[in-house]
Amino acid sequence: MVEGEELLLAVLNSAPVIDGKPTDALEPAAEASRWLRGLGGCGTTAEREAVREVRGALHRLIRGDSTDVDALNAALGHARLCPTATSEGLQWRLEAANDQELAVRVVLAWSTVREGLPGRLRPCANEECNLFLVDHSRPGTARWCSMAACGNRMKARTHARRRRTGETVPPSDPS
C-alpha cells in the first residue's frame, strides 16, 4: 500500500450510493465533524468545505470528466513542506492552516498514489457505483470496488442479458 492511500480512498469513497440512494459522510455537519476528526482533521466547517472541494475535484479528474485542478491548487495554495535533516535522511513536515491541512494531505496522497501506482487509481466500472479503487492486482485489471458487491452484480447482469438475447461469450471476455 502506498503512503496516504487509505486516506485518499476514505475521502474519495465518502459519498457512496447505498441501495440506490446517494449518501455523504460530510453530511450532516455533526457526523461529518466526527468523521473528519477520525481522519486526523479538526472537524471544522471550513475543513469540511475544503475536503468537499478537493473530493469533488478529484472525482471529476479521476473519472476523466474534467482536467480542472483549480480546487486542488487552491487547497495547496497556503501549504508548504518543510524539510528537516536527520541521521536517516530528510523528513518532511507539512505546514498548513488547521482547517486546510486534511484537504492538503488528501491532494498529496492522490499525487503519491498516482506516482507510485500509475494507472491503478480508477473509478468502479459499475456506473451506478460512486466508489474508487486502487488496483493492486498483478495484471492491473481490477474493475470493481468490490468483487462481492459490484463485481458479482455486474457479472450477474451480463449473464442475464446474454441469456435473454442468446448472445455468446466472446473468447477474450473475462466476465
Q: Tens digit of pLDDT for each residue in 117-144?
A: 999 999 998 888 889 999 999 998 888 7
In this prediction, the residues of the chain whose per-residue pLDDT falls under 70 are 147-149, 151-163, 167, 169-175
Which residues are CB-contacts of 152 (< 8 A; sequence separation ≥ 6)?
Answer: none
Task: Break the chain into its structural domains and give their ranges.
Answer: 5-165
d(CA 22, CA 39): 21
* 5-165 CATH, one of 1.10.3300.10, 2.30.38.10, 3.30.830.10, 3.40.1160.10: 1.10.3300.10
Three-state secondary-structure class, residue 72: helix
* Nearest alpha-carbon partner for 129 in 77, 59, 26: 59
Query: Which of 22, 24, 21, 19 lies closest to 55 in space, CA to CA?
Result: 24
Other residues' Cβ atoms within 10 Å of the Cβ of residue 126: 19
pTM metric for this prediction: 0.83
Is residue 125 within 8 Å of residue 154, measured between CB atoms? Answer: yes
The answer to whether 116 and 2 have CB atoms below 8 angstroms apart is yes
**Whole-angstrom distance, CA of residue 167 vs CA of residue 81:** 56
